[in-house]
Amino acid sequence: MESMNVYEHALNHWKSEVSTLLGRPEFNLLQKNEFTLESYRWYLRETFFHTRENPISQLIATRSFSRNQHELLSRYVGHARSEISHDLLALRDFVALGGSEEEIRSGQPLPDTEAMIGYTYACAHADSPLKYLGYLFHVEALPTVQGKDYIQMLLASGVPSHAVSFLQEHAQVDPAHSKLMAYYLENLLRTKEDERVFDLSMRTGMLLHYRMIVGAISRGMQGTPA
Ligand SMILES: [Fe+2]
Ligand SMILES: [Fe+2]
């Protein structure tokens, strides 16, 4: 299959899974698009904990890669390298909204975030590279497809423009990362079993990520300061 065919097929599947998942009652909060500033601060806090693990888990996943696909390994490691410091963008936005860097650094993620992080490491240690790629596909597709809309929504609800650097950077960079995803899938997705592993991991990563976001938003709505 052509790379765009494989990628477009996965992206269409991702889009239909997103709409199915967001139809669940547990995700009503996300459908309403109601963000308080406090909820956004919680989102940034949890995103800091989540994204600071990404370069490391992404590199651990190379243990299941073929020893013969040098070009693929090189592009993939470059991709992981480019994720380094993205946690600092979330931190910067958090501090721009009056948050304390020391508090966040000495704090712990919420349980839903911990579950998300735990899953990324489980994927990284799986026997198939498609397991981590399923999770990664979701986190790269979300800003590529919806990043700009989320930024508009936040700005419209009063979030200052100097506090959306994390989302802005990802809306710009992740379309390139999604092109890398197309390249990985073209080279690694071969069998029905590969597809099965990839699909389950994409859906699980998506579920846990949305739970993480809802966990953050609800804490903000309870009025608990982040
Ligand atoms: Fe990133
Ligand atoms: Fe990315």
Q: What is the CATH number of the domain that holds 91?
A: 1.20.910.10
Q: Report if residue 27 sits inside a domain.
A: no
Angle at 219 between CA 153 and CA 114, to 5 degrees: 100
- Flag the least confident range among 3-7, 81-85, 219-223: 3-7
Whether pLDDT at 57 is above 90: yes
**What does the block give as tokens for 84?**
């380094």
% of the chain exceeding 90 in pLDDT: 91
Q: Report if residue 51 sits inside a domain.
A: yes
Q: Where are the beta strands (DSSP E) in 38-185?
A: none
Whether pLDDT at 3 is above 60: no
Q: Report if residue 178 sits inside a domain.
A: yes
pLDDT of residue 48: 98
Q: Report if residue 38 sits inside a domain.
A: no
Domain of residue 121 covers: 3-22+44-221
In angstroms, rounded to a whole number, what is the distance separating the alpha carbons of residues 117 and 119?
5
In angstroms, rounded to a whole number, what is the distance separating the alpha carbons of residues 116 and 43?
14
Counting Cβ atoms within 10 Å, is residue 115 exposed (0-12), middle (13-18) or buried (19+)? middle
pLDDT-derived band at 4 (thresholds 50, 70, 90) equals low
Question: What confidence tens digit (pLDDT) does each residue in 96-125 have?
Answer: 999 999 999 999 999 999 999 999 999 999
Q: Report if residue 216 sits inside a domain.
A: yes
Q: Report if residue 28 sits inside a domain.
A: no
Quote the ligand 1 centre to 55 CA distance (angstroms): 9
pLDDT-derived band at 224 (thresholds 50, 70, 90) equals confident
Number of domains in the chain: 1
Q: Report if residue 149 sits inside a domain.
A: yes
Quote the ligand 1 centre to 2 CA distance (angstroms): 26
Quote the ligand 2 centre to 48 CA distance (angstroms): 14
Q: Give the ligand whose atoms come closest to the C-alpha of residue 173.
A: 2
Residues within 5 Å of ion ligand 2, judged at the Cβ atom: 174, 177
% of the chain exceeding 70 in pLDDT: 98
Name the average pLDDT for the chain: 95
Q: Report if residue 39 sits inside a domain.
A: no
